[in-house]
Copies of this chain bind each other. A is one copy, B any other.
Amino acid sequence: MRIVQKYGGTSVGSVARIHAVADRIIALRQAGQEVAVVVSAMGDSTDRLVELAREVCAQPDARELDALLATGEMVSTALLAMALCNAGCRARSWNALQMPLETTGPAGRARIARVGCDGLKRDLAEDVVPVVAGFQGRAENGDLTTIGRGGSDTTAVALAVALDADECQILTDVDGVYTTDPRMVPEARRLPTVSFEEMLELAGQGSRVLHLRSVEFAARHGMRLRVLSSFEPGPGTLICEENPNVEAPVVCGIAFNRDEAAISLTQVPDEAGVAHALLAPVAAASIEVDMIVIAAPRGGRVDLTFTVHRDDYARALELARNAAAKYAGAAVTVDDRVAKLAIVGSGMRSHAGVAAKLFATLADEGIQVRLVSTSEIKVSVLVAEKDLERGVRALHAAFGLDRAQP
């Protein structure tokens, strides 16, 4: 079996942990597996590099910030390759320029376009473990780029696809995907398997186990993904195509996200293209918009609300105000103390009443729902930040997530 393993920053956070990772890789190879490895930067070293850049200037040049941050993964790949070599396992570090791992798009938020892996395949054929720097890429013009925080997961999946691996394993500091965050709900259970779609909704809603893009990428290519603890043994959670022969549980988990901010544009003329005119500048600034809700028009006017990450709030607000200023009578209202929670499950498709149960449960708790957005396998609601924890606990119990499912 050919496996791509990705070790996060915590897993390679110290020299001792790097040795532990090396041991784990060697054990896997001794069990007859072919292994390629992707690593993140050690511990908080990316944060420290960002801090260093901020000491130089408040708004570091984006190209240079990427060049700086990419060094973090170069350090951890070299150290892990050394540890492997020292333990008698041939290994070779690879950075994005060497592979090359080609990206498109802006610095800091580049997207993987092509994974050059001839060298890695040669390594595997020669019994060498390739150790690849996650998170980084090479732009068309040769610049070093980064593919966004958490992007090492995406690097791992892209590499697994390019190498035609049997499985992509994400080793992290949790031992799998849970019905919800166990730090908030002690009854939360590890899910043995979860479908790509469910994982996408869970990850997209703020389950911080896996980076959203990595799941999308895996789903698009049908690459089996497994989340494992890098510290403890265990099967983790397998994320794969849904098995059509098995009836999925109605709800598999509850995701939530504290870091939301809602921006409402009210009394906007109900014209074709107005939503685009309002949101296009936000999208052009590469700000990710999460929920978008347009209320039913009244008197030729509509209200449009969207949510963004709290980090992007100030910038998005400015853009929204500029856009709204073009429409007489339109106004902008904001709320940056909101949180989102979402129930997710493939089984929802065939079960009516999931949303009803959600609303009833929240109403019983006296929690006001400010915004609702639904998909085939998810219902998301925006609530006041202070109500979040109570809401998640109540829903976890109401949907029976604390009990093992058949």
Contact = CB atoms under 8 A, between A and B. Distances in A.
A19 interface: yes
A68 B81 CA distance: 10
A143 B92 CA distance: 10
A33 interface: no
Question: Mostly helix, strand, loop or mixed at chain A's interface?
Answer: helix
Interface string A62-81: 01110110110011011101
Interface string A1-29: 00000000000000100110000000000
A307 B253 CA distance: 72
Contact of A61 (B68, B82, B142): B82
A68 B79 contact: yes
A115 to B, nearest CB: 16
A53 B79 CA distance: 7
A59 interface: yes
A116 to B, nearest CB: 11
B98 A142 contact: yes
Interface in A74-103: 74-75, 77-79, 81-83, 85-86, 91-93, 95, 97-98
B74 A57 contact: no
Q: Quick one: which of A59, A67, A91, A142 has the most chain B CB within 10 A? A: A67
B85 A64 contact: yes
Across the A-B interface, give the 9 residue pairs with the lowest CB-CB distance, nearest first.
A57-B86, A68-B78, A61-B85, A71-B71, A67-B78, A97-B97, A64-B82, A15-B55, A64-B81
Given A60-B86, A98-B143, 16 more contacts: A15-B52, A49-B75, A56-B79, A56-B83, A57-B85, A61-B82, A61-B86, A64-B79, A64-B91, A64-B92, A65-B78, A67-B77, A67-B81, A68-B74, A95-B144, A97-B97
